[in-house]
Amino acid sequence: MAGSAPVIVILTLTIFIAQVSCAKTPADILRHSVTRHGYPVELHKVTTQDGYILTLVRIPGKPGKAPVLILHGLLSSSVDWTVQGQDKSISFIAADEGYDVWLGNVRGNTFSKEHTALSSKDREYWQFSFHEIGLYDLPAMVDYIRSNTSSDAIHYVGHSQGGTAFLVMASMRPAYNRKFASVQLLAPAAYIHHATSPAVDFATRIDELEMFAKLTRSYELGGRGPGSSMDLVYAGHKTGLVPTDLILTNIWYFVGAHDSINRTVLGEILANTPAGCSVYQLLHFGQNYLAKSFQMYDYGAIGNVQRYGTKIPPEYPLHNVTAPIMLYYSVGDNFVPAEDVEELADRLPNVVHKHRIGLRKWNHIDYLFDVSAHRLYRMIVASLTNQTAEENEQ
């Protein structure tokens, strides 16, 4: 009987995962993430210039109110902006103020895995980093929103890689700068060479990561689906086999100990987060950490000469980023430390405000899940109103 216990546990988890997977499609999950809190929702498909099909989640606003595009970070998705619920999540706080809220999902995450020609099972599908997200995904979202609303300029809120993507787009395709009324970047992952998280050390093991990906023919990290490690963790937590404190201890190992997550929503967070990414996204961050630079993907000396004309990848031309930018950062962030955001601020030509969060333990995921994050969100939403008023006065 004792020997059969592990088999029973595995069967229980397998059945649970199968039931959850069959019950809800990605579209169902996105709709439910909004409607369960009493808000209307629309799902929009957007195709990028290089064929990736993305899903935008829209919470329609009041007539005449400006659109706000909110973009997640690495391994995240639009669901993270809704999981804390009404009065607590930035998407609903902005919606309550009448804004036309759009939540992005970048290529490769659970909700944006379609392509016009490729399957997510193909190696070619995963050959992208945050560079392509900034060069193609974000512009496609911006163009779609502007063509489907009455507003020429939109507001933007980006966390971590969501900030990275904006800086790539605004520096490489500078015509997009004028399409933003305001830009709010939360812990933007550009310069990260002061990072101390163990995850960064993992990302710098470039040769090992690439070799592992090639041997396993798996270029996705943190993906979801039947049999995935993250779905097993979620199922284990849901059934009580994996204790909450064990999960939090593992999270704190990477982001720094801060008992700030509302435990009542932890299960909902684990249901969809992490949402998957390409190994090349992680590798690109690792390269920038080692290079102490915010630069394009390093393909090696020969590959760089072929692509860039130089052996070393060029830095992103941040002097082209002329949109009005507000930066939010904290001393407790071990992924995007305060000194790195300060360096970014010195290199950007139009930083209109910097907000340094005073809580010493405020870490990289507190922007999403801290029980008091709604206070920061209200500050951000209030600044949208101020920026709109200033623009109308000009």
**Residues assigned a catalytic role:** 160, 364
Number of other CB atoms surrounding residue 274 within 10 Å: 20
Question: Please, which residues bridge with residue 101 across strands?
Answer: 59, 68
User: Quick check: bond before 349 cis, omega within 30?
Assistant: no
State the distance between the two ends of the chain, measured CA to CA, in whole angstroms: 77
Pairing mode, strands 42-47 and 180-186:
unpaired
Query: Of how many residues is the chain composed?
Result: 394
The 3-state DSSP class for residue 261 equals strand
Number of other CB atoms surrounding residue 65 within 10 Å: 21
Nearest Cα to Cα of residue 341 among 131, 213, 195: 195
Residue type, 299: Y
Pair of tokens at residue 325: 């930018």
Site of tokens 């049999």: 227
d(CA 119, CA 114): 7
The 3-state DSSP class for residue 69 equals strand
Helix residue ranges, H only, the chain: 5-23, 26-35, 90-96, 130-132, 138-147, 161-172, 198-203, 206-216, 229-238, 244-255, 266-272, 279-291, 300-308, 338-347, 366-369, 373-393
DSSP assignment, residue 295? B
d(CA 361, CA 309): 44
Sign of the torsion angle spanned by Cα atoms 126, 132, 138, 140: negative
Number of other CB atoms surrounding residue 263 within 10 Å: 11
